[in-house]
């Protein structure tokens, strides 16, 4: 918006007029979404929030790699990395350093532009989803009440779906640009897998939306803080959502696009250095975001279990409450991340036909049934 004002003075003028009118109006509802709210403080507030969220998701993705290796080790009766730093805590830094130091190779036969674009897209889509997730209730800093959510848009879930679907481009572009048959096969697998499971995922969400009646994640969380968690209304929906989330993240048992033992390394076979690092990183960020989504949609988001948040707010003040809420959310997220890893080191990979069977003949009918039953129930209750 700032750019458009600079580029065309005419439109800028119109915008200013619009702003002034709105100031006169002081319509609170518009303030949240319209230009009026874009003041300096608002920009700083959002910039800081975005920086924090991105930094946090990067750090969590970094330490997910460490946690994954630790969990794998423990499940296999090993200790996992324990040489770099206490308990191997500096291992991700060492790995990152190594990836940065590695020689960057772009194959001669590849499409150079797309080859570089691929990991960028993967990373971008992974990071963008975090924009609509509420991390806690409002906090008060310098006399301003700040929402711990980058954008409370009323189509939050749709936005997430849109961005997540774009994630397949990262894989497709990367696999295709490598000009390698294994990469291409892996990319095709990845694309078809993600598309098939997105259907079931979408339908499980539709059932959830019938229960909540809102697409805004903030509203969904607030409803859950007031009443029961959505998991108790939609256990089957959650199960379908979770399985599909595994497939969307390309995690075992659905890690066919990577399939180290069949396709060498999958779609990022030709990648080296930090471009490879971006793909791996994007995967872990996706895992983090899926965990967040599961926690937010089905397990109350930042709602602290067994505690009345409104009472807490009056006794502890907004800042402390928001901190506790964020901690509760992160506890839930870490549990789900652990669950992802736990499943990965337990279940072997599906065969491709099994994967498609499960997706089309298992998940989609189940999701449909869940949707119809929920719809009938909601109709019966309201009508």
Partner 1 sequence: MEALTNRSKAVDRRPMSVWEKAYLPEIAKGMGVTLKHFFKKKPTISFPEETRPFSPVFRGLQVLNRDEKGRERCTACGLCAVACPAEAITMEAAERKQEEQHLYREEKYAARYEINMLRCIFCGLCEEACPKDAIYLSETFTPANYKRESFIYSKQDLLIPDPVTEPELYKKALGDRAKKS
Query: Which residues in this chain contact partner 1 in the complex, by CB under 8 A?
Result: 71, 74-79, 82, 239, 342-343, 345-347
Tell me whether residue 71 or residue 146 sits nearer to partner 1 (CB atom): 71
Phi, psi dihedral angles at 304 (to 5 degrees) = -85, 125
User: Quick check: helix, strand or coil at residue 257?
Assistant: coil
- Please say which residue, 246 or 278, places its beta carbon nearer to partner 1: 246
CB of 82 to partner 1, least distance (A): 7
Residue 169 vs 342, nearer CB to partner 1 = 342
Q: How far is the CB of 144 from partner 1 (least distance, A)?
A: 45
Q: Can you say whether residue 151 is alpha, beta or left, with left for phi > 0 and alpha for psi between -120 and 50 degrees?
A: beta
Nearer to partner 1, 320 or 347 (CB): 347
Q: Burial, 31: exposed, middle or buried (Cβ in 10 Å; 0-12, 13-18, 19+)?
A: middle
Kindly state the smallest distance separating residue 205's Cβ from partner 1, in Å.
20
Hey, what are 29's tokens?
A: 């509802």
Nearer to partner 1, 169 or 345 (CB): 345
Q: Which helix (H) or strand (E) holds 145?
A: strand 144-148
Contact at 8 Å (CB) between 300 and 228?
no
Say how many C-beta atoms besides its own lie within 10 A of residue 142's C-beta: 7
| Closest to 80 (Cα-Cα) out of 60, 57, 63, 59 | 63
Q: Residue 266 has what DSSP assignment?
A: G
Crossing angle of the two packed helices 364-382 and 235-248, in degrees rounded to 10? 140
CB of 235 to partner 1, least distance (A): 12
Residue pair 201/248 in contact (Cβ under 8 Å)? The answer is: yes
Helix or strand run (H / E) with residue 137: strand 136-141
Least spacing, CB of residue 346 vs partner 1, in Å? 4
338 vs 377, which CB is nearer to partner 1? Answer: 338
Residue 27: CB minimum distance to partner 1, A: 50
CB of 347 to partner 1, least distance (A): 6
Of 13 and 78, CB closest to partner 1? 78
Say how far apart CA 221 and CA 302 lie, in whole Å: 7
Question: Among residues 63 and 342, whose Cβ is nearest to partner 1?
Answer: 342
CB of 67 within 8 A of CB of 341? Answer: yes
CB of 338 to partner 1, least distance (A): 10
């Amino acid at each position: 918006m700032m750019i458009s004002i600079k580029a065309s003075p005419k439109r800028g003028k119109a915008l200013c007029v619009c702003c002034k009118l709105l100031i006169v109006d002081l319509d609170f509802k518009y303030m949240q979404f319209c230009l009026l709210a874009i003041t300096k403080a608002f920009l700083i507030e959002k910039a800081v929030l975005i920086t924090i969220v991105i930094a946090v998701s990067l750090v969590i993705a970094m330490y997910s790699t460490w946690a994954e290796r630790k969990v794998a080790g423990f499940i296999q009766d090993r200790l996992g990395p324990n040489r770099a730093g206490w308990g191997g805590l500096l291992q991700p830094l060492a790995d990152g350093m190594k990836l940065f130091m590695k020689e960057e190779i772009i194959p001669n036969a590849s499409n150079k532009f797309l080859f570089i674009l691929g990991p960028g897209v993967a990373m971008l889509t992974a990071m963008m989803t975090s924009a609509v997730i509420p991390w806690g209730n409002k906090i008060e800093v310098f006399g301003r009440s700040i929402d711990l959510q980058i954008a409370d848009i009323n189509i939050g879930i749709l936005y997430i779906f849109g961005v997540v679907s774009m994630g397949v481009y990262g894989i497709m572009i990367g696999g295709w640009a490598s000009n390698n048959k294994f990469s291409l096969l892996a990319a095709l697998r990845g694309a078809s897998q993600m598309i098939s499971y997105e259907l079931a995922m979408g339908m499980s969400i539709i059932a959830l939306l019938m229960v909540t009646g809102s697409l805004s994640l903030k509203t969904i969380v607030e409803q859950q803080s007031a009443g029961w968690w959505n998991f108790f209304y939609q256990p089957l929906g959650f199960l379908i959502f979770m399985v599909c989330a595994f497939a969307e993240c390309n995690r075992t048992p659905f890690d066919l696009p990577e399939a180290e033992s069949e396709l060498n390394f999958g779609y990022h076979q030709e990648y080296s250095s930090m471009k490879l690092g971006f793909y791996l990183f994007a995967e872990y960020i996706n895992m983090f975001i899926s965990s967040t989504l599961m926690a937010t949609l089905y397990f109350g988001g930042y709602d602290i279990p067994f505690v009345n948040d409104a009472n807490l707010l009056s006794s502890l003040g907004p800042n402390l409450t928001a901190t506790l809420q964020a901690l509760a959310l992160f506890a839930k997220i870490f549990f789900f991340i652990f669950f992802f890893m736990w499943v990965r080191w337990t279940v072997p990979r599906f065969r491709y036909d099994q994967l498609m069977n499960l997706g089309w003949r298992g998940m989609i009918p189940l999701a449909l049934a869940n949707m119809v039953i929920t719809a009938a129930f909601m109709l019966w209750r309201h009508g």
